[in-house]
Structure 1
Amino acid sequence: MRTLLLKKDEVRRLVSKTDVIGAVEEAYKAYSSGQVEQPPYLGIHLPSRRGEIDFKLGYYSVNEIISMKAHSGGFKNNPAEHGVPNSMGTILLFDARSCALICIMDGSLITGIRTGAAGAVSVKALARKNAKTIASIGTGNQARMQIRAINEIMKIEKIHAWDSTPETGCKYKADIERELGIPVIVASSKKEAVEQADILVTTTRGTGSLVEADWVKPGTHIVAIGTDQRGKQELDPELFRNAKIIVDSFSQCTEKGETWHPLNKNIIAKDDIHGEIGEVLLGSKPGRESDDEITIFDSTGMAIQDNTTASKIYQNAIANNVGTFFQFFEE
């Protein structure tokens, strides 16, 4: 029994944005059609505001793969104190027929890329067809991932960006304009950015309402990425009162996602949640039904996204003879 090891540079060579968007669409459809077993994910917040680490586990009956991912974030002192990145990820793949470990791969790129693809899938399914302008609240690594993926499925004419750290916003502007040729306007306030948006993307580690309901114009599609644990929040709960709410996972979003906040304040009830993105993709629930609707996609991130994405990378590695095999034990 041999196990394949894929390092970060190897994973980078084996992944494409188009592949990942397809893998995430497959993941959402599989989850909403009962082909996935996915226990609630676990998160550990380390002491002294050090950071957090999440563990996500999933089984997909179609590919017979069990995936397990560990992903850490928020460890700001890591580079200086420990010589490692402030965010790291590792994915294990098991053959579900035997539970043998078939692959260990770096997961730091996969988390970012598949999360970016999630936003793109929601834009494809829920944004207005004439949407052209994006507002980005937050301009870190995930904000870039979102734009790269969304740029694969629509023509972005302009981005209005805001960040709590102006220097970060200016670097985002330079990077996006150089890489993608999309004009970026660094807004002086969150309100100024949000008011321009056809599509609003939030990618912060916020712990309070960053986007007020009365800033958002009719017809906006909101991609809410940052809230995946209790205590995090980016949107004014009032935004949910008259919006069409689409979640990646009903159970996760009502317990740990952005949707928890309006539920907790009794602004909405669980019955007011329109459905899961997988149901929209499968055609069992309608997507956008008018150009005036505000649609909210609450993305908490799911193990099945890691499963389908990592499985595609593993298949590409085998097909292209990339990576290093090793054995834990003699057969």
Structure 2
Amino acid sequence: MPCRLIDAETVQRLLTMKDTVTACEDAFRDWGRGEVVCPTKITLELGEDAEWPPYKNGLNAMPAYIHSKKSAGIKCVGGSLNNPKWGLPYIIALILLFDPATGIFKCVMDGAQITNYRTGAQAAVAAKYIENKKKIRLGLIGAGTQGRTQLMAFSEVFDIEEIRLYDINPQASAKFVEEMSRQIDTKFIVSEKPEDVFYGTDIIVSVTHGKDKFIKNSWFKEGQILFPMGSFTECEDELLLSADHVIVDSVGQTMHRGALKSVVDSGQFKECDINATIGEIVAQTKEYKISEHERIVCIPIGTGAMDIAVATMLYDKVLEQNLGEAFIFNKALEI
């Protein structure tokens, strides 16, 4: 079978948040059962967290194998912090799928929308298994693309009674409400300070590039679930160290980057302090109980397993509809 070239337009036409949530939930369940191979992501540092090279960029390589789908692949994702001022999207990604038995590549797929959608979906899936309520009040810090997909995903899983929103840019918040109120039937409250997002909410999701530990322990109340997303350091150390439960997507990854990196590097937090993985909770392979009065921090940094699961689902749709551009990149593979 020839390799398929699947462009961004095709991905946008076929990908739905409902399907993305299902694919991520299945992948977490498989992972919890030990049926996923997902190494930690490798980063090519190009100035995002270093003074040199001078590109304010970084490239992540994120491989994974999903046994139930007999699918393997790798996502390469980058994006310079300069891109927005150049009129370019921050996230630029390609996903390659291949046959795990032969190593023959099946497709090259644009990965930007998959990245954005699965980031929302992975948090919503985790929340589904942690939060006992079906109707929630959601807090959201960050009114960019990731904020939009978080709201889309959570609305697939929960009945959202109210959303409290904060962004450092008030214009971004206003635009967010204008756009998302057409899609999601809920009450929007724009907050003037980030701490106001914690007032009366059940779940708080932070999707910023913050590295200054701006989320304070004093804001975080009993019974709340906090999702500090991505590879950034948004939470102060005391919050992470005093949480009743810390849940992660990938143990190895969260010990070396993202929210926990600071407390791990200082020796205050060890691997044994992680209470469970999202996969273990979804697959119910670990007996685990959470009280409604406890404070839970859940850290899904993002893994190749979610990208490959969603991309495989989309690839199957492409084959069913005979879409994408087919090509043979090596005549020796032509059968």
TM exceeding 0.5? yes
How many Å separate the matches in 2 of 1:159 and 1:288? 27
Deviation at 1:285, TM superposition (A): 2.5
Shift of 1:266: 4.3
* Corresponding residue of 1:114: 118
* Structure 2, unpaired ranges of 5+: 47-52
Structure 1 gaps, min length 5: none
Aligned residue-pair number: 325
Does the C-alpha gap of structure 1 residues 245 and 77 become closer, same or farther in structure 2, counting only changes over 3 Å?
closer
- Calculate the TM-score normalised by the size of structure 2: 0.91
Choose the corresponding residue for 1:161, options 155, 161, 165: 165
* Distance 1:252-1:77 versus aligned 2 partners, 3 A rule: closer
Determine whether 1:189 maps to 2:190.
no
Following superposition, the deviation at residue 287 of structure 1 comes to 5.0
Alignment check: 8 A CA contact 2:233 2:260 kept: no
Q: Tell me the residue number matched to 2:19.
A: 19
After TM superposition, the structure 1 = structure 2 runs for residues 108-187 of structure 1, keeping only pairs within 5 Å, are 108-129=112-133, 132-187=136-191
Asked whether the 8 Å contact 1:113–1:145 carries over to 2, the reply is yes
Instruction: Find the counterpart in structure 1 of residue 57 from structure 2.
Output: 51
Cα distance, 1:43 vs. partner?
Answer: 1.3
CA-atom RMSD, angstroms? 1.9
Q: Secondary structure at the match of 1:69?
A: strand
The secondary structure found in structure 2 opposite 1:209 is coil
TM-score by length of 1: 0.92
Structure 2 counterparts to residues 1-331 of structure 1, below 5 A: 1-46=1-46, 47-77=53-83, 80=86, 84-129=88-133, 132-226=136-230, 228=231, 232-240=232-240, 241-287=242-288, 289-330=290-331, 331=334
| Amino acid paired to 1:273 | I
Residue 290 of structure 1 aligns to a residue whose secondary structure is: coil
Aligned-residue offset at 1:178:
2.3
Identity of aligned residues (%): 28
For 1:288 and 1:259, the matched residues in 2 are separated by 22
* Structure-1 separation of matches of 2:134 and 2:70: 40
Greater alpha carbon shift after TM alignment, 166-175 vs 297-306: 166-175
For residue 308 of structure 2, give the secondary structure of its aligned residue in structure 1. helix
Q: Which residue is equivalent to 2:50?
A: none
Given that 2:30 and 2:283 are in contact with CA atoms closer than 8 Å, whether structure 1 keeps it comes out as: no
Deviations 1:298-326 (A, max 9, x none): 01111111111111001111112221211
